[in-house]
Amino acid sequence: MAGLTLVGVDSEARTDSDARREAVGSIEDALGRFMRSVRASLNEGAHAFSPDLPPSAYWIMSVIGKTHPIAPATIIALTGMDKSSVSRQLRLLKEAGYIDSQPDPHDRRADLYSPTPEAGARFEAIRAANRARFGQAFDAWDEDEVVAFAGLLDKFIGRDA
Protein backbone atom coordinates (compact mmCIF):
# COMPACT_ATOMS: atom_id res chain seq x y z
CA MET A 1 0.00 0.00 0.00
CA ALA A 2 1.48 3.29 -1.06
CA GLY A 3 2.46 5.58 1.78
CA LEU A 4 2.70 2.81 4.39
CA THR A 5 5.92 1.48 5.80
CA LEU A 6 5.70 -2.19 6.64
CA VAL A 7 7.81 -2.90 9.71
CA GLY A 8 9.98 -5.99 9.37
CA VAL A 9 9.29 -6.41 5.64
CA ASP A 10 12.20 -6.09 3.25
CA SER A 11 10.75 -4.31 0.22
CA GLU A 12 13.46 -5.85 -1.96
CA ALA A 13 12.35 -9.35 -0.93
CA ARG A 14 8.73 -8.78 -1.97
CA THR A 15 8.23 -10.00 -5.49
CA ASP A 16 4.51 -9.53 -5.96
CA SER A 17 3.65 -9.50 -9.61
CA ASP A 18 2.05 -6.44 -11.15
CA ALA A 19 -1.14 -8.44 -11.59
CA ARG A 20 -1.20 -9.38 -7.89
CA ARG A 21 -0.55 -5.77 -6.79
CA GLU A 22 -3.30 -4.57 -9.10
CA ALA A 23 -5.68 -7.22 -7.79
CA VAL A 24 -4.92 -6.32 -4.16
CA GLY A 25 -5.53 -2.64 -4.98
CA SER A 26 -8.81 -3.58 -6.61
CA ILE A 27 -9.81 -5.57 -3.51
CA GLU A 28 -8.94 -2.62 -1.29
CA ASP A 29 -11.14 -0.32 -3.42
CA ALA A 30 -13.99 -2.86 -3.47
CA LEU A 31 -13.83 -3.28 0.31
CA GLY A 32 -14.08 0.49 0.71
CA ARG A 33 -17.22 0.51 -1.45
CA PHE A 34 -18.55 -2.49 0.48
CA MET A 35 -18.00 -0.74 3.83
CA ARG A 36 -19.93 2.32 2.60
CA SER A 37 -22.71 0.00 1.47
CA VAL A 38 -22.78 -1.74 4.86
CA ARG A 39 -22.91 1.62 6.63
CA ALA A 40 -25.81 2.73 4.42
CA SER A 41 -27.61 -0.57 5.05
CA LEU A 42 -27.12 -0.16 8.80
CA ASN A 43 -28.56 3.36 8.64
CA GLU A 44 -31.53 2.13 6.58
CA GLY A 45 -32.14 -0.76 8.99
CA ALA A 46 -32.02 1.57 11.98
CA HIS A 47 -34.49 3.94 10.34
CA ALA A 48 -36.83 1.08 9.34
CA PHE A 49 -36.70 -0.34 12.87
CA SER A 50 -37.31 3.05 14.51
CA PRO A 51 -36.75 6.45 12.88
CA ASP A 52 -35.25 7.83 16.11
CA LEU A 53 -32.86 4.92 16.71
CA PRO A 54 -29.16 5.67 16.16
CA PRO A 55 -27.34 3.18 13.90
CA SER A 56 -25.08 2.10 16.78
CA ALA A 57 -28.13 1.08 18.83
CA TYR A 58 -29.55 -0.79 15.84
CA TRP A 59 -26.22 -2.60 15.44
CA ILE A 60 -26.46 -3.75 19.05
CA MET A 61 -30.14 -4.63 18.50
CA SER A 62 -29.09 -6.78 15.54
CA VAL A 63 -26.58 -8.65 17.71
CA ILE A 64 -29.22 -9.18 20.40
CA GLY A 65 -31.77 -10.20 17.77
CA LYS A 66 -29.44 -12.88 16.39
CA THR A 67 -28.01 -14.13 19.69
CA HIS A 68 -30.02 -13.96 22.87
CA PRO A 69 -29.98 -13.89 25.74
CA ILE A 70 -26.62 -12.16 25.55
CA ALA A 71 -24.29 -10.46 28.01
CA PRO A 72 -22.85 -6.99 27.41
CA ALA A 73 -19.32 -8.45 27.37
CA THR A 74 -20.30 -10.66 24.43
CA ILE A 75 -21.85 -7.69 22.61
CA ILE A 76 -18.60 -5.78 23.13
CA ALA A 77 -16.58 -8.70 21.76
CA LEU A 78 -18.84 -9.09 18.71
CA THR A 79 -19.09 -5.41 17.82
CA GLY A 80 -15.73 -4.03 18.91
CA MET A 81 -17.56 -1.15 20.58
CA ASP A 82 -16.32 0.18 23.91
CA LYS A 83 -18.08 -0.68 27.16
CA SER A 84 -19.52 2.79 27.76
CA SER A 85 -21.04 2.94 24.26
CA VAL A 86 -22.61 -0.49 24.63
CA SER A 87 -23.99 0.41 28.07
CA ARG A 88 -25.45 3.65 26.74
CA GLN A 89 -27.10 1.93 23.75
CA LEU A 90 -28.45 -0.91 25.92
CA ARG A 91 -30.01 1.67 28.23
CA LEU A 92 -31.58 3.46 25.23
CA LEU A 93 -32.94 0.18 23.80
CA LYS A 94 -34.34 -0.87 27.16
CA GLU A 95 -35.97 2.52 27.83
CA ALA A 96 -37.55 2.40 24.35
CA GLY A 97 -39.02 -1.03 25.16
CA TYR A 98 -37.02 -2.93 22.52
CA ILE A 99 -35.11 -5.22 24.89
CA ASP A 100 -35.62 -6.90 28.24
CA SER A 101 -32.97 -7.93 30.73
CA GLN A 102 -32.68 -10.69 33.25
CA PRO A 103 -29.95 -11.48 35.76
CA ASP A 104 -27.19 -13.72 34.44
CA PRO A 105 -27.55 -17.00 36.39
CA HIS A 106 -23.76 -17.48 36.27
CA ASP A 107 -22.90 -13.91 37.34
CA ARG A 108 -25.58 -12.12 39.36
CA ARG A 109 -23.72 -8.81 38.86
CA ALA A 110 -24.44 -8.92 35.12
CA ASP A 111 -27.61 -8.92 33.05
CA LEU A 112 -28.49 -10.85 29.91
CA TYR A 113 -30.43 -9.08 27.17
CA SER A 114 -33.13 -10.34 24.81
CA PRO A 115 -35.44 -8.57 22.37
CA THR A 116 -39.02 -7.99 23.41
CA PRO A 117 -41.45 -10.06 21.30
CA GLU A 118 -42.55 -7.03 19.24
CA ALA A 119 -38.99 -5.80 18.68
CA GLY A 120 -37.83 -9.33 17.83
CA ALA A 121 -40.56 -9.67 15.21
CA ARG A 122 -39.78 -6.23 13.77
CA PHE A 123 -36.06 -7.05 13.62
CA GLU A 124 -36.71 -10.42 11.93
CA ALA A 125 -38.91 -8.76 9.29
CA ILE A 126 -36.16 -6.24 8.49
CA ARG A 127 -33.55 -8.99 8.46
CA ALA A 128 -35.63 -11.12 6.06
CA ALA A 129 -36.07 -8.15 3.70
CA ASN A 130 -32.31 -7.43 3.85
CA ARG A 131 -31.45 -11.06 3.11
CA ALA A 132 -33.85 -11.12 0.16
CA ARG A 133 -32.36 -7.88 -1.21
CA PHE A 134 -28.82 -9.09 -0.56
CA GLY A 135 -29.57 -12.45 -2.16
CA GLN A 136 -30.67 -10.70 -5.36
CA ALA A 137 -27.08 -9.53 -5.80
CA PHE A 138 -26.17 -13.17 -6.42
CA ASP A 139 -29.04 -14.04 -8.75
CA ALA A 140 -26.73 -14.01 -11.77
CA TRP A 141 -24.15 -16.21 -10.03
CA ASP A 142 -24.31 -19.98 -10.14
CA GLU A 143 -24.36 -21.88 -6.85
CA ASP A 144 -20.68 -22.92 -7.09
CA GLU A 145 -19.64 -19.27 -7.41
CA VAL A 146 -21.68 -18.23 -4.37
CA VAL A 147 -20.28 -21.11 -2.29
CA ALA A 148 -16.71 -20.33 -3.44
CA PHE A 149 -17.15 -16.64 -2.66
CA ALA A 150 -18.51 -17.43 0.82
CA GLY A 151 -15.51 -19.68 1.51
CA LEU A 152 -13.01 -17.10 0.26
CA LEU A 153 -14.67 -14.33 2.25
CA ASP A 154 -14.55 -16.46 5.40
CA LYS A 155 -10.88 -17.18 4.71
CA PHE A 156 -10.18 -13.48 4.19
CA ILE A 157 -11.77 -12.40 7.47
CA GLY A 158 -10.02 -15.19 9.34
CA ARG A 159 -12.76 -17.71 10.01
CA ASP A 160 -12.65 -21.35 9.11
CA ALA A 161 -15.01 -21.97 6.20
The answer to whether residue 141 sits within a structural domain is no
The answer to whether residue 2 sits within a structural domain is no
Alpha-carbon radius of gyration of the chain: 20
The answer to whether residue 55 sits within a structural domain is yes
Report helix, strand or coil for 115. strand
What contacts 24+ positions apart, CB below 8 Å, involve 56-60? Answer: 56/81, 56/85, 56/89, 57/89, 57/92, 57/93, 60/86, 60/89, 60/90, 60/93
Q: What is the pLDDT of residue 38?
A: 87
Q: Which of 115, 128, 47 is nearest to 75 (CA)?
A: 115
C-alpha 11 chain-centroid distance: 34
Q: Which domain holds residue 46?
A: 21-136
The number of CA neighbours under 13 Å toward the Cβ of 124 is 8
Q: Kindly indicate the confidence band of residue 161, based on its pLDDT and cuts at 50, 70 and 90.
A: very low
How far apart are the C-alpha atoms of 73 and 110, rounded to whole Å? 9
Q: Which residues of 122-143 are buried (b: 16+ CB within 10 A; e: fewer)?
A: bbeebeeeeeeeeeeeeeeeee
Tell me the pLDDT tens digit for each residue of 144-157.
999 999 999 999 98
Q: What is the pLDDT of residue 134?
A: 83
Q: Domain total for the chain?
A: 1
The answer to whether residue 74 sits within a structural domain is yes
Q: What is the pLDDT of residue 16?
A: 77
Rounded to two decimals, what is the model's pTM?
0.74
The answer to whether residue 156 sits within a structural domain is no
The CATH number that applies at residue 91 is 1.10.10.10
The number of CA neighbours under 13 Å toward the Cβ of 123 is 23
How far apart are the C-alpha atoms of 161 and 154, rounded to whole Å? 6
